[in-house]
Structure 1
């Protein structure tokens, strides 16, 4: 029997059933009594330096032994057989992703294509940032493009970086957002040609970002200097603009 709930809530896509959580695996995944392994959509763990057990502790407090209802815009399992979903705890109807973000225990992933859902998740992240909860208690949680060494310290990690775009250049099939004058040392954003249509659909033209202050989210790479590759519009946020 499906638990009654309000319809049309943010992130409430197609229903994927309900179940009881029997095991929390890590900061964003758990197992149900029927054997399904569930991965939380729309977020990335905020504390990559911790062990899986440490990172999963908050999720265990929220979900261990509790019943959940699941929703997703795609019911196809990932390559590991996991279902990627948005999860509501029952009976209090807490959206787990929103709760983790509000506690500063997660960061919003750019993979959310639904505007209303993305806005709700970003608002929860902003609340934690403003109240300095969880990861946001650290003043260096958002990296500054003027300190490329600090960005490089997070190679391979999902990171938020803020700064002013000094120039936008195209080289072959790649567009670069440059945040410094030294292109081999300073931070830059890489936008491959295949991503331009995604950005354009969201009203983002790379050249229009020149001299704008923006926030970038993504995985840090080292290609001479620190880099983040942008494939989706949700990775770019104009600071101080709606």
Structure 2
């Protein structure tokens, strides 16, 4: 029989390492992104739609940070029906429909429901979260779902090709994700156009108003530097001739590597 040579000193050292690792894990959890100030708690009484829930005290909550897909409402029902939740956000001011915008957390979980939906491909990042660390964490959840082709990302057409403007134009009024190479950057009045096609009237373009420029400058991005770069943009599709996406937030634009496969974020 093999003799146990573990000494009391070794046991103490192991216990010390275990305790240290637990303390580190607890610290990491408390430092998790998107841990904004608590804006209240409640029990979910109803799933109103693909992005809104109603609590048992009558409050209607809009899940901020995401745009829904075809599977979002079903996933929300599975995650939240009858569950106790905590609401977190930097501002609890109701929107024009009287809904409270918040990140939703089930029980003591450190991961928001939004992050869970994104990780499973059951939602798309809306880019409305201003906090840089939280926005990056949500984008990372979406990127992982894209890599694994989960949920809506299993469909090859989930990300539109900027070189096929007719496919984008067919989605007017919808929130879309588009990838392509910026062929030119042109300014007309107070608007800057990131043109993805050579035909300016029919090709896809992203538009950025003058009032949005300071946000890009603060992020260290000059619009002219985007010329000949591959980027990914997201937003609501507009346009009568060529399709357009109006960029109002820096998070709507992602820079892509020259050789990066479609749908994968660096």
TM superposition score normalised by structure 1 = 0.92
Whole-Å separation in 2 of the counterparts to 1:19 and 1:226: 42
Whole-Å separation in 1 of the counterparts to 2:32 and 2:86: 13
From 43, 46, 62, the counterpart of 2:69? 46
SS of the equivalent of 1:151 reads helix
Cα RMSD, aligned residues only:
1.7
From 33, 37, 41, the counterpart of 2:56? 33
Shift of 1:181: 0.6
SS of the equivalent of 2:173 reads coil
Shift of 1:92: 4.3
TM superposition score normalised by structure 2 = 0.84
Instruction: Look up the match of 1:8.
Output: 31
Instruction: Look up the match of 2:150.
Output: 133
Whole-Å separation in 2 of the counterparts to 1:165 and 1:35: 47
Is 1:221 the equivalent of 2:238?
Answer: yes
Pairwise mapping of residues 71-82 of structure 1 onto structure 2 (< 5 A)? Answer: 71-82=88-99
Instruction: Look up the match of 1:238.
Output: 255
Greater percentage in helix: 2
Whole-Å separation in 1 of the counterparts to 2:256 and 2:111: 29
From 120, 125, 131, the counterpart of 1:108? 125
Instruction: Look up the match of 2:260.
Output: none
Is 1:200 the equivalent of 2:217?
Answer: yes
Stretches of structure 2 that go unaligned for 5 or more consecutive residues are 1-25, 258-264
Greater percentage in strand: 1
Contact 1:214 1:238 in 2 (8 A): yes
Instruction: Look up the match of 1:159.
Output: 176
Whole-Å separation in 2 of the counterparts to 1:179 and 1:122: 23
SS of the equivalent of 1:169 reads strand
Shift of 1:94: 4.0
Query: Which aligned runs of 4 or more in structure 1 are off by greater than 3 angstroms?
Result: 91-94
SS of the equivalent of 1:155 reads coil
Aligned residues: 233
- The C-alpha deviation readout for 1:7-61, integer Å capped at 9, x for no partner, is 33211111111111010111111011111101111111123xxxxxx64111010
Pairwise mapping of residues 49-128 of structure 1 onto structure 2 (< 5 A)? Answer: 55-128=72-145
Contact 1:204 1:233 in 2 (8 A): no
SS of the equivalent of 2:201 reads coil
Instruction: Look up the match of 2:164.
Output: 147
Query: Over alpha carbons, which structure has the higher Rg?
Result: 2
SS of the equivalent of 1:140 reads helix
Shift of 1:62: 0.3
